[in-house]
Amino acid sequence: MKSWWRNRVFVLMVNIAMLLAIRLPNVLRRPLLWILGMNQVRVLFTVYPGEEADAQLYVYRRLHRIINRIFPVYIIGISLLGRAKDRGLTLAFGQEPDGYSVEDLQKRLAFIRKISKVFHDAPVALAGRTPSIMMRRRIRVEFPFILGANATLSTVLLCLAELLPQNKETVRIAVIGGGGAIGGRVARALRPRYSVVSYDINPGFAERGGDTRDPNRLRNCKYVVVLTPRGRDIIDILPYLAEGVVILDDTHPEIPAEIAELIRREKGGEVWGAALWKTGMEFIPPLAGFPEHSVPGCYIEAIIEYYMRRLGLQSTVGSPFEFVYMWVKNLEFRPALYRMGTVKKKKGQS
């Protein structure tokens, strides 16, 4: 079955079958899902091509154009969740979500809700900037859609802990995109223990304390967390980065390989991508740029939501972040650091 998902003709057949499954009664739908090997799908993960090359990893160029015309979103693969039978389904927008009008985006989200219903209200993880784009368009992020902020925050903090030195007293950290929903939370989580500069170019970002729109304040920050809309946005602050800077990237699309190489060459810096990994986790086909067995934080939160609902549990202790962090640790997800531009060298895996 795994090899089938690497066959793009089979993936096209799956998309056609899903159009049928949405319209079938459950008694007829179940055998169809079993034939396609999707009867154990528990969660959905909605992604979008960050770069043109990303789309080609999933669907041939000519099929990509055809499928994008027929389907509001299309199925591109399946994921193994590290348990014997549980699966996830990976869906893709044809372009970045902010390229759609409000009406077109609503149409695609409604189609995703229908697919979620096929799989008994499966939670839906939203990759990258999709949640913030929805909120900016005044579209509520409510179930089955999962905001993913808490697990994303967990991912950044766990990976950052792998990069920081033992002596943390003199560590100075910059959060690029600190005015955003995730960037602001990362900065607030770090401030009790570290000296943090939260940087954002948004004119509405107030200049107070560690919050700034002045890139000159980044010069003394040895560690930088990038949470901008696109990884290539970092090029604008490259002249202000410290020599030997260590960058943790959690953007989508990520910092391109050529910019990561420029940072290494001009600043002697390191650029690491952030993810968590778990033995048995696997995306088929692989997610663009991610190491084997690793998974973005937003997807982890949807997985946690599924297990919570199956067990009939509710968060009863601590903050939502603390609760998700506890689940991340209990499900044995570990930090996965990988050098940008390659997925061959990893750190923090054992």
Please give the distance of CA 266 from its chain centroid, rounded to a whole number.
29
pLDDT above 50 (res 347): no
| Band (344; pLDDT cuts 50, 70, 90) | very low
Would you list the DSSP string of 67-118?
Answer: HHHH-SSEEEEEEEESSSS-EEEEEE-SS-GGGS-HHHHHHHHHHHHHHHHH
Tell me whether strands 270-277 and 334-339 are parallel, antiparallel or unpaired. antiparallel
pLDDT for 57 = 58
Higher pLDDT: 284 or 248? It is 248
pLDDT for 58 = 57
Secondary structure element (H or E) that encloses residue 338, with its range: strand 334-339
Provide mean pLDDT across the span 72-84: 82
pLDDT above 70 (res 61): no
Would you list the DSSP string of 207-227?
Answer: -BTTEES-GGGGTT-SEEEE-
| Least confident among 146-150, 270-274, 331-335 | 331-335
Q: How far apart are the first and last CA of the chain?
A: 29
**Residue-averaged pLDDT of the chain:** 82
pTM of this structure = 0.82
pLDDT above 80 (res 168): no
| Band (345; pLDDT cuts 50, 70, 90) | very low
All domains in the chain, ordered by first residue: 4-147 (no CATH), 150-276+335-347 (3.40.50.720)
How many whole angstroms separate alpha carbon 327 and alpha carbon 334? Answer: 12
